[in-house]
Structures are given as C-alpha cells and as structure tokens.
Amino acid sequence: MTTTVQSVEHLHARPAWDCLVCNQPWPCANAKTNLLSEFRGFPSVLAIYLNGQMYDALHDLTSHGELTPADLYERFISWARVN
C-alpha cells in the first residue's frame, strides 16, 4: 500500500489577495513559513519578490477607488527582513 501526502500551497487569490487555502490575508502564516524556507539563503530575492507582490496587491486593492490599505508594508515586507 502506498500513501501519498499532498502538498497544499498557500497562494493568493486576486484581486482580494486572500489565501486560496485558509482565506486569510496573503501572505498568511503558512505562506510566510513556506516563502522563508524557499528563499532561505536568498533574502534579497525574497525582498524583491515580496515588493513586486505588494505593488500588484496595491493595484488590485485600489483599482476601484478604494483607499490604500494601511498595513501593506507590514503584511508583505516587514516580516521578511533579515536582522
């Protein structure tokens, strides 16, 4: 008997930028863990990726005249800083 473990990717759904799996604001806690693991050793590449994602989210979340969300930096960038 063979058992297969399915990997679940916590990706964003546009234009709301909520996680497809857990419906939390993306990047959710699981996405952050996965991204830190995936980009381990390449923090500048992670920063570039997250900046691009943040600006895509900014565009999506304000495209119909909504105010800019105040938490975008904290949500996308601040947690990935290397100390």
Angle (nearest 5°) at CA 80 between 13 and 20? 15
Q: Quick one: pLDDT at residue 55?
A: 97
**Residues 6 or more apart whose Cβ sits within 8 Å of residue 68:** 58, 61, 62
Predicted confidence (pLDDT) per residue in 5-15, tens digit? 456 799 999 99
Predicted confidence (pLDDT) per residue in 35-75, tens digit? 999 999 999 999 999 999 999 999 999 999 999 999 999 99
